[in-house]
Amino acid sequence: MKLSELINYLEQSTNKDLIFKVDGLAIPLDYHITEIKDASFKTVDCGGEKDQWRVTVVQLWNTENPAKEKRSMSAEKALSIISKVNQITPLDQESTINIEYQKNNSETTAIYAIAKIEAINDKLIVELGNIPTQCKAIKRSQQTCCGSSSSCC
Residue range 47-73, pLDDT digits in tens: 899 999 999 999 999 876 665 666 789
pLDDT at position 132 = 87
Least confident of 25-29, 89-93, 143-147: 143-147
Report pLDDT digits (tens) over 121-139.
999 999 999 998 888 888 7
Residue spans of the domains in the chain: they are: 3-141
Tell me the HSE value of 68 on the side-chain side, using a 13 A CA sphere: 13
Task: Note whether 16 and 123 are within 8 A (CB).
Answer: yes
What element of type H or E holds 99? strand 96-101
Mean pLDDT for all residues in the chain: 89
* 36, 132, 133 from 48: Cα distances, Å: 31, 21, 17
**Torsional class of 100: left (φ above 0), alpha (ψ -120 to 50), beta (otherwise):** beta
